[in-house]
Structures are given as C-alpha cells and as structure tokens.
Amino acid sequence: MNLTRSLLKSNPSRNLVLIILILLLLPTVSTDYFSSLVGKAIIFAIFAISLDLAWGYGGILSLGHSVFFGLGAYAFTITSLNIGTPFGIFLGIVLGVFVPIIIAALVSSFVFFSKTSPFYIGVVTLSLALLAEKMVIRFSSFTGGQNGLSGVPEFPFYGVPLYYFILLIFVLVVVVSSILVKSDMGKIIMGVRENEERMQFLGFSTPLVRTMIFCLSGSLAGFAGILYASFDGFVSPSLVGFTLGTQVIVWVAIGGRGNIVGAVIGALLINILSPYFNEYFPYVWQSILGLFFIITVVFFPKGIYSFIDKSRKSAVKYDVTVKPQEVKILNSKSNILNINNLGVSFGKLSILKDLSLKINTGELQCIIGPNGAGKTTLINAITGRNNPTNGTVVIDSSSIEKERPETIVDKGIARTFQSTNIVGNLTVAENLQLATANGKFQSFYQNTKEIHLSPSTDKLLKLSRLEEKMTLLASELAHGDQQLLELCMAIALEPKVLLLDEPTAGLTGLERKEIGKILIHLAHEDNISILVIEHDIDFVKEIADRVTVLYDGTIAADGTVDQITQSDLVKKVYLGGH
C-alpha cells in the first residue's frame, strides 16, 4: 500500500530508482527461473528504449525494429563462435553494434531523403524484418537456419553473475538516454518529430537528424541483441522476425511512448507477466494485449505511464543573453536578392511566369494581389519549399534556386508561414533556443538553460511581451502570440532577407500596429530586407517602402505606395473590376 502510494506520488526518476532497487534485490529472493525471466525482461526493456528513441522521440515508426535486435544477436554470436577467444567476443560486440548501424544508415539514406510518410517507413521496416527472417533461414550455413545457434559465450566477467552485469548496463542505458532526450540535441530531435517543416526552415537538415536518431536507436537495439544472445546462450530466427518487431511496439505503446520510463515499464511488465498468462490463458492473453494496444493507440496515446506520472513538465527558467550589436556597413539600397525569370509550374498548371524581382537591403517591400496570384508560391520558390521550374534566384552572388530549404536558410533567408508554424509541445524559450542553434547539431548531453539572442530579437521579445511567457508551451499561446513567436524565431536566425506570409492574419487592429512598428524598425534600423505578403491594404500603406502587385503569376505593378494606389491597372486588378 505504501509502495503504490509512493509510486503514484513520485516523479519519473524516483520511479526508476524504485524499479532498479527491486530488480537489484530480486535474485536474492526469487527462483533461478524467475531471475532468468526478469533478466530477459531487462534486456527487452533496453530494446524497448531503443524503439522509443526512434519512434517516441524521433517519430520514426519502425515496425520491424527486431531486425536490429536480431542482427546484433547474430553478428555477435557468429563472430564469437567462429573466433572463440576473448578477442572474438570483443569483435562480436563491435560488429553486433556496427552491423545494425550500417543497415539503419542504409535504410535512412533511402527512406528519409525522399518525401516520406509513416506508411512508407512502416512498410519498409516491416518488410526488412520479414526478409531478415527468411534470409536467416535461407543462409543456414552461417546462421544455423531454423535450428538457430547455441553455445553462445557469456561475457567474460567471471565472478559477476550476468544478471547483475545486464542490470548495470540497463541502468547506464536509462541514464544515458534520459540525458540525451533532455539535452539540446534531444530538443532538436523532438522538434523534428513535431514539426519537420519548421525545423527545416530553421536551417536543420531534418533527414540527417532522423538518420542520426535511427542509427543510434539501431545500435542500441543491436546491443540489446548481443546481451540477449549472451544471456540466453541461444539465437534463433525469431529474434530478427516480425513477431518480436510487433511485440516491442506493443510494449512501448502500452507503457508510454515518448517517455523512457514508460517504455521500460511496458517492457518489464508485459515480459514478466506474459509467461504466466500465456500458460493459463494461451490465446486470450495475447488477444487482450492486442485489444489493450488498440485502445491505448486510439484513446491514450501516451500509454499507461501517463496515469502514473502526474508531474507536469516543470517550468524551466531560461536566461536570455544578448549578443553585442554588430556594426553593419550600410551601403544603402543595394540589391541583396535577385530573382530572374522565375517560373513555377505544377504539371501543366503554371503558377509563376517569368517573374523578375529585386529585393534591396533594408527595404520593406509588400506584395499584394488577389487570391491565387502566386504570392505564397513565390515565397515557396525562393525558400526551396518548391524548387522553381525555371529561372534563377541569387543571393549575394550565389544561386539558390536548386538548393534545399536548410541550405537557403544558411545563406541568410528566413521565412514565416501563413498558418503559424511553431513547435507546439516545446516552450517558448525552447522554440527560440532551436532557432538560435542556426541549424547546427547541438550537444548530446548538455541541457543549456541560456539563449543567446541577437539584439533585434531581444527587442522584439520585449516589445511583444513574449518575454513574460517564456515558460509556457508554444501551443498554449494565443494565436497572435504564436504569430509573434514565429516572427521572433525567424529573426533569431539573423537573416539578411526575411519573407513573411501574411504576418497579421487573424490579428486585431492593435496587434497589427505593433507588428507594423516592429517590421519598420527591423528594416530601417537593423537593415534587414523584408518581403511581406499582405491582404490588409491599410496595413500596407502604413509600413511599405515599396509595393509590388502580383497578378496571375506575373508582376502587374511595382512602386511606392502612392504610385500603386493611383494606378488604374492596380485598382482594376485589386478590386476585380474588368
């Protein structure tokens, strides 16, 4: 009773300490059979953590994660059996970790670098598991085929029972992976899971981030496989097969994905209970697990651990420091971005036709035009969201029309989206921290509580009062604040050119005025070139240095606010008169 109460009260790390203590004391009171059962469950918990890293944290649904587990087990077993010395065991461990990494990297290079959906990733990983099982059976001279391989050597830790060694490894894995998911890199991984597009336009190579976490996860799964082979002394095709791949998903989903403790609890609980229930209620138990899995997936995506762990994500304070103001050489009104004969078509439909446009340093330029004129398509073409069909886009004398979004961000072009695009389940501070990383991989172990902002971002942060909401989750912000946060993130990238797609949509008049002031300041004081798509003509009049009218994929007019508002052509286009 006391135990359950403290379990219910406590936070994740306390729960873990409790679990580890129980596991540590277990062999002294239990039978050998039960200890060996728990030993396997601990190994499977490590396996579950590996899947949780890929799926729960990385958003990569690997339906055939058993491939990595099994490959680790087989690579270790085959090497150590064939060489047979402690060196063989050592080499086996190395191969058992690296073979899965190689496979994971290969899969990643094909799967993450094209447009992907969870369906594609799931089907490919699942088919790999089915294939691996067939291959193990087919190439029986290496693998022992159906019969498997026995006599797998134990790790040479004479004197220390393997159970304790495994427990030690488990503790290490839990600690290391907990540090990783809380680290600066962990935030990037979660950012990619939540909002791949935003992360791309913050300059991160999201395929690379996914490849990294998938390889890491694969190697950990392989390592769990090594432990399993060594502990059980026997490997068989079922270790690579699809059944185990299914089971590990069930453990993680029921326990709680996206949570190390959840995955551990799911794996331990189900693996320790299953042998008993399987004996007394053979098929019913598995069916109930399946049913429980469906219910969890549909109604409680965070698993059973979300019922135990009531601790809210505590509001972490971040310190904001401001970079010294850079002294910029102002050669006013020089071209920064040149767009020449830009064309974008989808199939036969051409959206932009031979569009040429120059963007000047420190100028605030507004683009207006009716729906479907190609305004958003223009920004998409500049930023690499849709590569243009023809024409060139040149910034600072380098062509970017064929580059990926993250490269274009790196060249100094930042953007916002029409519908706000932020990482909802991270705090405001964490969102800003992601932006200041400038697309670079961050520390895998440090959890930095400091954000180093450019002076203009800091100014905007104060003006927008977001400074007072740093510890809130971005998804909890009001719509206007989310727009402002996205703007802050774009500015934190310290761009030379800032492209804003309807930054005032859905804002009240007062908020519009505030944003207007900020934009003028950014352009005129901080010398950033700003291109704003805007519907609200009053707002345009207030802020624009130059107005461009886009109509039917081409530029209908370009000039100062006065020139534009007096042009008959523009009146016609804009009012729809004919």
Partner 1 sequence: MSFIKINSLTSGYSNTVIIRNIDIEVNEGEVLCLLGRNGVGKTTLLKTIMGLLPTLDGECFVMDRKVSGLKPYQIANLRVSYAPQDMGIFPDLSVGKNLKVGYRGSTSNFEEGCEEAFVHFPILKERLTQRAGTLSGGEKKMLILSRCIVNQPRLLILDEITEGVQPSIIDKFSDALNDIKKKGTTILLVEQNVSFAEKVADFYAVMNQGEIVAMDQMGRGSKQKIESYLVI
Partner 2 sequence: MSLSILSVVLLNIVTSIAIFFVIAVGLAVIFGLMDVVNLAHGEFVMLGAYAAFITSQLGLNPWLSFVIAPVIVAIFGLFIEKILIRHLYGKIMESILATWGLGIILRQVIELIFGKDYKIAPYPVEQTVNVFGAGYPVYRLLIVVLALVIVALLWYLERKTNVGVTVRAVIQNPNLSSALGININRVYSISFVVGSALAGLAGAIIAPLVSVHSGMGINYVMNGFLTVLVGGMGSLFGLVGSASLLGGSESVFSFFFDPVWGSIAVILITIVFMRFKKTSI
Q: Is 565 in the site for partner 1 (CB under 8 A)?
A: yes
State the residues that interact with partner 2 by CB under 8 A. 61, 63, 110-111, 113-120, 122-124, 126-128, 130-131, 134-135, 138, 242, 246, 249-250, 253, 282-284, 286-287, 289-291, 293-294, 297-298, 301
Out of 194, 403, 536, 545, name the contact with partner 1 by CB under 8 A.
536
Q: Is 372 in the site for partner 1 (CB under 8 A)?
A: yes
Q: Minimal distance in Å, beta carbon 489 to partner 2? A: 26
Query: Could you give the CA distance from residue 194 to residue 355 in angstroms, rounded to a whole number?
Result: 35
* Interaction partner, residue 297 (partner 2, partner 1, none; CB < 5-8 Å by kind): partner 2
* Interaction partner, residue 113 (partner 1, partner 2, none; CB < 5-8 Å by kind): partner 2
* Interaction partner, residue 130 (partner 1, partner 2, none; CB < 5-8 Å by kind): partner 2
Q: Which is nearer to partner 1, 132 or 351 (CB)?
A: 351
Q: Minimal distance in Å, beta carbon 183 to partner 1? A: 31
Q: Minimal distance in Å, beta carbon 365 to partner 1? A: 17
Q: Minimal distance in Å, beta carbon 494 to partner 2? A: 35
Q: Minimal distance in Å, beta carbon 485 to partner 1? A: 14
If you compute the radius of gyration of the chain from its CA atoms, what whole number of angstroms results? 28
Count the site residues for partner 1 by CB under 8 A: 23
**Cβ(552)–Cβ(566) below 8 Å:** no
Angle between helices 206-232 and 66-83 (to 10 degrees): 50
Query: Could you give the CA distance from residue 569 to residue 578 in angstroms, rounded to a whole number?
Result: 10
Q: Is 574 in the site for partner 1 (CB under 8 A)?
A: yes
- Please spell the DSSP secondary structure of 285-302, one letter per residue: HHHHHHHHHHHHHHH-TT
Out of 84, 161, 282, 509, name the contact with partner 1 by CB under 8 A.
509
Q: Which helix (H) or strand (E) holds 531?
A: strand 529-533
Interface residues for partner 1 in 399-458 (CB under 8 A)?
A: 419
* Interaction partner, residue 238 (partner 2, partner 1, none; CB < 5-8 Å by kind): none
Burial 490-508 (b: 16+ CB within 10 A, else e): bbbbbbbbbbbbbbbbebe
- Amino acid symbol at 416: T
Query: Could you give the CA distance from residue 496 to residue 523 in angstroms, rounded to a whole number?
Result: 10
Q: Is 371 in the site for partner 1 (CB under 8 A)?
A: yes
**Cβ(244)–Cβ(69) below 8 Å:** yes
Q: Residue 474: what are its φ and ψ, rounded to 5°? A: -60, -30
Query: Could you give the CA distance from residue 538 to residue 302 in angstroms, rounded to a whole number?
Result: 47
Tokens of 430: 């964490």
Q: Residue 134: what are its φ and ψ, rounded to 5°? A: -60, -40
* Interaction partner, residue 430 (partner 1, partner 2, none; CB < 5-8 Å by kind): none
Stretch of 121-129, 393-401, 445-453, 564-572 lying at the interface with partner 1 (CB under 8 A): 564-572
Q: Minimal distance in Å, beta carbon 490 to partner 1? A: 19
3-class SS of residue 89:
helix
- The number of helix segments (H) and strand segments (E) in the chain equals 24, 14
The 10 Å Cβ neighbour count of residue 266 is 28
- Binding interface with partner 1 (CB under 8 A): 348, 368, 370-372, 419, 478-479, 502, 505-506, 509, 535-537, 565, 570-571, 574-578
